[in-house]
Structure 1
Amino acid sequence: MDTAGEIEEGSPRVEEDKIFVAVGKEVKESKSTLSWALKNSGGRKICIFHVHVPAQMIPMLGGKFPANQVNKQEVMAYRELERKKMHDALNEYRNICLRAGVRAETIDIEMDNIEEGIVELITQRRIKKLVMGAAADKYSKKLTDLKSKKAIFVREKAHVSCHIWFVCKELLIYTRQGNLEGSEPASPIRVTGQAEILRSSCPPSPRGQKNYVKLSNPVQDLIRRVSSGSSRRRITSVFSPEATAVIGTAPPIQLAGEEISSGCEESRISRRSTSRLSEASTWSASDVHGTLESISTVKDEGSEEGTALYSVYGSIENLHFSSPPNELFLEELPKDDIYYQLEQAMVEAESSRREAYEESLRRRKAEKHALEAIRKAKASQSLYEEEKKQREELEVFLWKEKQELEMLKIQRDQVMEELRVTLDHRSKLESQIADSDQMVSELEDKFRSAMQLLVEIKKERDELMTERDNVVREAEELRKTREEVATSSHRPQFFSQFSFLEIDRATGSFDPSMKIGDGGYGIVYRGTLRQTPVAIKMLHADNLEGRVEFQQEVDVLSRVRHPNLVTLIGACPEAWALIYEYLPNGSLEDRLACKDGTPPLSWQTRIRIAVEVCSALIFLYSNKPHSIIHGDLKPANILLDANFVTKLGDFGISRLIHSTESSNPSMFCYKTSPKGTFAYMDPEFRATRELTSKSDVYSFGIIVLRLLTGRPAMGIVNEVQYALEKGNLNAVLDASAGNWPYLQAEQLAHLALSCSEMSRKNRPNLEAEVWRVLEPMGACWGALSFSRLASGEHCRVPSYFICPILQEIMRDPHVAADGFTYEAEGLRAWLDSGHDTSPMTNLKLDHLSLIPNHALRSAIQEWLEQP
């Protein structure tokens, strides 16, 4: 019976002992995944792999462009930079493993899609264990399923044999179990021999049933045992312990884990002989030789058990068999010889088993070396392909460089031709220049002569200009002197000089009880000079600014007169003293604060004060030939006489600006250091150091707000503005002033807020805008103010009963074109003296007609008739 055996090698070994970890290009995002794999690797090898997706958008010139629209060299350079960054990231991952005491491998591939690259790598490498990210940064404690599209794709598309752990932030989120049945196993070594023929020819015995069979040929039994052991890559005992006891009884036999049924064995043995004795104890030489042929066949196929089977073959060949058929083998050979031969076979089989085991170890080592060689060959092939690709790219680059070089050569030839033409042209120009040099020398001689003449003419012109400037300066000084003389001749001077002795007597040797004020530049005393009550302001002699203030007030108040300006009676230069008219009601600041228990001002009086302050400011701005900016307007510098008539004072830091400097009073500007009270000071004046008439407008707005509310100046603008926005102006009006008329109060509030704008250009003009609002109020509420003054405010003469010119109670009041009321006799004398301007505002009158004020005349008569 022919028993040929064959051995087939399987496919390459699957990556079962390694754990593959999929990582991204950002180390900080995939570090947690790698850390989890290191903690749970159980000592297995770690292989880090990354799917690199080449960039399709190339950054250039501040933007990004598709790769097919960009120069190939630039695309290659950018992608090479990307690969360098990728390798740096893989090195960093490898360093993390080294710090954890694990040596890791790295694999990277390039594909257009990350998840498809992972699936492709699983299939190529036959990966059995994989760790990858699950949900990126969307992890939460309630997360129980995959959220990442890449993870879902890999879970569904990866080969079923791969066991995948999905991790997020070092926590296991999901596990996909690997299905070994669905995997593609490596092809096992198949041995086809007599044992497999037996299994195929006999029906399988029922599970759990043990049937034993006696073999007629012990040598064939030995061969079956060796062949069966080799098919499972292991060597089993050739004979059981009972084999040496009874030669006629064979032990139970198993082939590849299956027991051979006795019926099958008996049917096979019966075909050899009709005698039961021969079935149990005889075996012919042909059977032995057939068995030996099968052994030699297995050895020739190059299986790892060939050496063992060859030993068995050599042992059995030493046996001698009788060939006559139908004779008992046991009768021809002595039993001792049989036992001896069997023992020899057992020893040789054991030796063969050891040799087969050693051979299997060598074979496995050879297989390992072969796989390593294959891997290195593949790596070398990959490097070769990469080198080939780079070489092709370099050839393309060199070809382009050659093209550019050819273009440069062509351009060089063109430039050389242009240079030749230029040189020819240059030679012609040089000849022309040589001709021109002589002409230039002649022209230079003429030019020098002309320059000498020009210098002489310029010198003569400068002398004439100097003479002209001197004449103009003298003419200007004469004109100013003439104007000042003319102005002084039309304005009476009430300025007198007093001696220090008179000042000392008037103040009782500067008795402290006579002190009525103490300012930053001096002390104010009350006294009597030449039978007239006066206020004496003593400036600090050691203060330079006090001296400047002294001269400034003398210059201003000696030039102007107005009913609402404090009257300067005289001065004492010896003591640096200024003598003013005495105003018994003090300052507006004192009256708003109800100092010394004085009653609060009525709302009519407050409106009149605002009108009079505005009138005084307009007069100062329109003064000729010098306009005046007060610069320190505040309630403390607004004084009230016995009839509560406003008197604007303290011109120590005021400035005189010649009218020729600007035709518009609102454009007057003077550079100086900021002085005055912070709450009333123009914000732009503090920032730019430019004092203008709009600076006084800002201060006037704050004063009007104080007249309305009676509150402190700091923050008053925001309070009134908030009340107007909420429609609750009554909440901020000073209730002690009486029942304010709401419409007039609201109109005054809006006017004051516009004057208090932070920007100068947003503030109104006093004459053109503010006076148009205040003038009707003064005319409307004037009579009421007079009656209230007569009844409730010390019964003094109302100021509107007094003529601004004569300073007496009017008997025949008339209204002029400026809107003010004057005594008819005094106003006609003013007009007859050649004036065509208002005595109050110093502005030109529209007409010289006078209108009788019968209402005011009746009010004066009623007041005079009161007991």
Structure 2
Amino acid sequence: MEEELGEAIILGPAAALRLQDRDNDEQQPQPVYCAVGGTAGKEEWKANLQWVLANVPRSKRLVLAHLRRPPSRINMMGAWVPVSQLAEEEVTAFRQLEEDKIGKVLDDLLDICKSQKVNASKIIVASDDTARGLVQLVDDHGVTELVMGAASDRAYTRKMRAPRSKKALTVQRKANPSCKIWFVCKGNLICTREASEGANRAESSTASTSPRSSTSDYSRSKSSPRLHSKTFSTQESNDPATASVDETPTSRWVDAMDHTMEGSASVSEIVESGEEPAAEQLLHAEVEEDQEAPSPDGSDAGGMMDDALYEKLKDALMEADNLRHEAYEETRRRQMAERELAEASRMADDAESSYRREAKHRKEMEEMLARERAAMEQDRREINDILYKIRQVDDRSAELELQISSSERMMSDLEARLSESYSLLETLQPTTAAAREETEGAHDGGQGASFLRLGYSELDEATTHFDESARVDGGGDGGRGKVYRGELRNMAVAVKVLRRDVAVDEARFAREVGRISGVRHPNLVTLVGACLEARAVAYELVPGGSLDDHLCRGALPWRARCGIAYGACSALAFLHSASTAVHGDVRPANILVVGSLSSSCKLAGLGTRGLVRPGGAAALAYADPHYLATGELSPQCDVHALGVVLLRLVTGMPAFLARKAAREAARGGKAWHEVVDAGAGWPAERGREVALLGLRCCGDNVGVSPHEVLEEARGVLEAASTASGDGAPGRLLSDDGAAPSYFVCPILKEVMRDPQIAGDGFTYEAEAIKEWLGSGHDTSPMTNLKLPTQKLLPNHALRDAIHHWRAMHY
């Protein structure tokens, strides 16, 4: 009978589910959660984690929980930018970076747990409010044990007995009562919020009752006189009749229990009304029924109830108690729903009141808008009257501008005639040195050099009001200004207008322009004039485009490239020796080709660094490492940049790739025919020779001056530019038979035999310029300006070209 009763109760569905939940709870203990705050670092939380590892059983799993608050602003280059103003991928990248940072901190804490052989994991939760996020984490994950900080470490005192931070106080007040919370600070336990026992039973309605409840119910059943005297017989008998008599009340009790399980609604009503539990009432009914039924052998069927039956009765009472708690929990949830409904009604009333206020405000705004529209209409009529008067004034201004333009043209003609008169006067009667210095001081305000001062209106007319279609893309202004093509005084010019925010002040601008105007060389772009007020400089226009453009198109043959490199090298040698100046910005964009497919060039950009304020971006691919380290310009900077240009001319590659490929070929890692630009027709030996020259210019050159390196480069480039692929002289001149203008000496007006470069940058016949200097002249025969030096430099490339021309025509 005892086995049959046990099987009947085990087959009950509610009891089976409760037994299964109780077994799962015993097999899988709840983890302990540790809240790691948003600003907590690894060092700050080490002490708190050590306390957790010392006080939490090793059998429990540890979960490190971090609540991340999504940022509303992001630091971009030192400025805080709202998230709404950034792209989604930028915000996502920033949030991923923040998650990686806190993930590393959590990983360090997990390593500490691992070293203590504690099973630990991490979880990151996003929440706008940390306190509400912790409360929601406790509810969502059913957290029963939580460790969190009571305050920051700097707020810790030995007398602290309660949490101090608002977050800790909020969690202490609003977290689920079933969760036990330890508040720690700086590795010390501040206080503990114990879990509520009633809340534990309410949260787990299907769990077993506490041992205290089970014991009391069992004692109450044992103390009942009726159960002791007349319940069931505990005698053991093998008589079938006796067995049937014993099975009858037990079977009826089991059927009644199943009926009670199916009718859980009636049990809930009994629990809510405060009446005796259903299982206890059913037990009493069965006892009374058994008292009235005599046993077959005439003996009393009462007696003591055996232990197995008491256990089953105890389970029934426990289930009734659980049902009562479920009813209480359902009532509590219904009350909470009613309170939420009342709160929602209040919020609806507030929303309705707000709507009425907004409607009233909108009506007032519409009335005000109507008044504003009427006022705007009146203003519009007044503005129309003003515009009509302005149009009348504009018509009159147009007439005056026509008269002014006519006057300016007349003034321009007069200035041109006056300039011609001055030139004729200087040719016929050279001024004395004192008179020239006085005139130069009058021209540039005492800055030490003369240049043509231009008015803004003159530049505006020359560039067609600075039309964007007249812009010149070459010149390498580097974003510091704009370059326009124009016609000034019957001469094609390129006008560079610097931005006001990068240009120097007017006095320094005048000094730098005066210094640049005194430097003249056939391979340097000539400065025509300047407008100090507009921070604009006018240069001669070189129509062939920049070397960078030609390299991108791959349209230059190798001999033309050598000639261009020779011209740039000659200009740098002149700057370093004659004027003791440094160009500082040598690159293909500043090397202008004279004519289409020509082998001559002019170097632009001289003095641009002095016209702008320091701090501009440098061309890193052509910059000398010593300059990048110290910021000091030297002739080596120009030589290094020239070397990079030579490597680009040989390989046709970008600067960094050209230098890398040439170095590999020089070390034997590549064949030279793989490096040399085959589209330019380079002979292998010539290409290798020029490439090695470029690497030598880019090297340290310890013990060798930049002037010596330039002289070596001029010799190599001169031989390459005047020779064909097989070593024969190249054909660089035209076939019309006439001598080019630069073959003719400006003094003798005859084709030169021994061309020499003077300090003014022009080339003269050696005999003529020496006679000029020997007669006591210290000025240029071309510009009438004082020569910075009387040293003469042989123009070997021009001499060879003249000799080749003579051999072909005589």
* TM-score (norm: length of structure 1): 0.35
* TM-score (norm: length of structure 2): 0.38
